[in-house]
Amino acid sequence: MNAPVESPLKESPHKGKTGLKRVWNAFFYSLEGFGAAWKHEDAFRQESLLAAVLVPLAFFLAEAPLERALMIASVLLVLIVELVNSAIEATVDRISLENHALAKRAKDIGSAAVLISLINVLVIWGLVLFG
Protein backbone atom coordinates (compact mmCIF):
# COMPACT_ATOMS: atom_id res chain seq x y z
CA MET A 1 0.00 0.00 0.00
CA ASN A 2 1.09 3.49 -0.77
CA ALA A 3 1.37 5.88 2.12
CA PRO A 4 -0.68 9.05 1.77
CA VAL A 5 1.30 11.93 0.31
CA GLU A 6 1.58 14.77 2.76
CA SER A 7 1.02 18.22 1.33
CA PRO A 8 3.92 20.66 1.80
CA LEU A 9 1.33 23.36 2.56
CA LYS A 10 0.18 23.42 6.15
CA GLU A 11 -3.40 24.42 6.88
CA SER A 12 -4.05 26.98 9.57
CA PRO A 13 -4.51 25.43 13.01
CA HIS A 14 -7.55 27.71 13.30
CA LYS A 15 -9.33 25.83 10.52
CA GLY A 16 -11.43 22.78 11.16
CA LYS A 17 -14.48 24.01 13.00
CA THR A 18 -17.65 23.27 11.09
CA GLY A 19 -21.35 23.97 11.25
CA LEU A 20 -22.88 26.47 13.61
CA LYS A 21 -19.72 26.67 15.73
CA ARG A 22 -17.80 27.94 12.69
CA VAL A 23 -20.51 30.49 11.85
CA TRP A 24 -20.63 31.64 15.48
CA ASN A 25 -16.84 32.06 15.63
CA ALA A 26 -16.74 33.78 12.24
CA PHE A 27 -19.34 36.30 13.42
CA PHE A 28 -17.18 37.32 16.39
CA TYR A 29 -14.00 37.39 14.29
CA SER A 30 -15.84 39.74 11.95
CA LEU A 31 -16.79 42.01 14.84
CA GLU A 32 -13.14 42.04 15.91
CA GLY A 33 -12.23 42.99 12.35
CA PHE A 34 -14.66 45.91 12.39
CA GLY A 35 -13.21 47.02 15.70
CA ALA A 36 -9.65 46.80 14.44
CA ALA A 37 -10.51 48.72 11.28
CA TRP A 38 -12.29 51.42 13.29
CA LYS A 39 -9.39 51.70 15.76
CA HIS A 40 -6.47 51.61 13.32
CA GLU A 41 -7.74 52.86 9.94
CA ASP A 42 -8.54 56.56 9.53
CA ALA A 43 -9.94 56.01 6.05
CA PHE A 44 -12.36 53.35 7.31
CA ARG A 45 -13.62 55.69 10.03
CA GLN A 46 -14.10 58.52 7.52
CA GLU A 47 -15.89 56.27 5.02
CA SER A 48 -18.04 54.78 7.78
CA LEU A 49 -19.15 58.24 8.85
CA LEU A 50 -19.88 59.09 5.22
CA ALA A 51 -21.95 55.89 4.99
CA ALA A 52 -23.82 56.83 8.16
CA VAL A 53 -24.93 60.00 6.35
CA LEU A 54 -25.45 58.62 2.83
CA VAL A 55 -27.38 55.43 3.63
CA PRO A 56 -30.25 57.23 5.43
CA LEU A 57 -30.11 59.97 2.78
CA ALA A 58 -30.71 57.36 0.07
CA PHE A 59 -34.09 56.57 1.65
CA PHE A 60 -35.14 60.20 1.21
CA LEU A 61 -33.62 60.92 -2.19
CA ALA A 62 -34.35 57.75 -4.15
CA GLU A 63 -37.80 57.46 -5.68
CA ALA A 64 -37.79 53.72 -6.43
CA PRO A 65 -36.64 50.74 -4.37
CA LEU A 66 -34.09 49.72 -7.03
CA GLU A 67 -32.57 53.21 -7.01
CA ARG A 68 -32.35 53.08 -3.22
CA ALA A 69 -30.73 49.65 -3.35
CA LEU A 70 -28.13 50.80 -5.90
CA MET A 71 -27.28 53.89 -3.89
CA ILE A 72 -26.89 51.97 -0.63
CA ALA A 73 -24.98 49.10 -2.26
CA SER A 74 -22.50 51.51 -3.83
CA VAL A 75 -21.79 53.04 -0.41
CA LEU A 76 -21.42 49.64 1.27
CA LEU A 77 -19.05 48.57 -1.52
CA VAL A 78 -16.68 51.37 -0.47
CA LEU A 79 -16.55 49.94 3.06
CA ILE A 80 -15.97 46.42 1.73
CA VAL A 81 -13.13 47.52 -0.54
CA GLU A 82 -11.60 49.62 2.24
CA LEU A 83 -11.61 46.62 4.59
CA VAL A 84 -9.88 44.47 1.96
CA ASN A 85 -7.38 47.25 1.24
CA SER A 86 -6.63 47.61 4.96
CA ALA A 87 -6.11 43.85 5.22
CA ILE A 88 -3.67 43.96 2.29
CA GLU A 89 -1.77 46.85 3.87
CA ALA A 90 -1.57 45.11 7.26
CA THR A 91 -0.35 41.90 5.63
CA VAL A 92 2.31 43.71 3.62
CA ASP A 93 3.46 45.56 6.75
CA ARG A 94 3.54 42.29 8.70
CA ILE A 95 5.86 40.77 6.12
CA SER A 96 8.24 43.74 6.08
CA LEU A 97 8.26 47.45 6.82
CA GLU A 98 11.13 48.11 4.42
CA ASN A 99 10.41 49.95 1.18
CA HIS A 100 10.01 47.46 -1.64
CA ALA A 101 8.59 47.89 -5.13
CA LEU A 102 6.20 44.94 -4.75
CA ALA A 103 4.95 46.17 -1.36
CA LYS A 104 4.31 49.59 -2.88
CA ARG A 105 2.55 48.00 -5.84
CA ALA A 106 0.26 45.95 -3.59
CA LYS A 107 -0.65 48.97 -1.49
CA ASP A 108 -1.13 51.23 -4.51
CA ILE A 109 -3.38 48.69 -6.24
CA GLY A 110 -5.49 48.38 -3.09
CA SER A 111 -5.73 52.15 -2.92
CA ALA A 112 -6.77 52.27 -6.58
CA ALA A 113 -9.58 49.81 -5.82
CA VAL A 114 -10.84 52.12 -3.07
CA LEU A 115 -10.69 55.08 -5.47
CA ILE A 116 -12.72 53.19 -8.08
CA SER A 117 -15.33 52.28 -5.46
CA LEU A 118 -15.60 55.97 -4.49
CA ILE A 119 -15.97 56.98 -8.14
CA ASN A 120 -18.65 54.29 -8.40
CA VAL A 121 -20.61 56.04 -5.62
CA LEU A 122 -20.40 59.34 -7.47
CA VAL A 123 -21.53 57.78 -10.76
CA ILE A 124 -24.43 55.83 -9.28
CA TRP A 125 -25.68 58.65 -7.08
CA GLY A 126 -25.29 61.09 -9.98
CA LEU A 127 -27.23 58.86 -12.37
CA VAL A 128 -30.00 58.21 -9.86
CA LEU A 129 -30.36 61.84 -8.82
CA PHE A 130 -29.68 63.64 -12.10
CA GLY A 131 -29.92 60.98 -14.82
Q: Is 82 a catalytic residue?
A: yes
Pairwise CA distance, residues 25 & 23, whole Å: 5
Of 41, 47, 67, 82, which one is the catalytic site residue? 82
Pairwise CA distance, residues 84 & 103, whole Å: 15
Q: 111-123 b/e with 16+ CB inside 10 Å = b? A: bebbeebbebbee
Is 74 in contact with 93 (CB distance < 8 Å)? no
- Residue 48 burial (C-beta neighbours within 10 Å; 0-12, 13-18, 19+): middle
Classified as helix, coil or strand, 66 is helix
Pairwise CA distance, residues 17 & 51, whole Å: 34
Annotated catalytic residues are 82
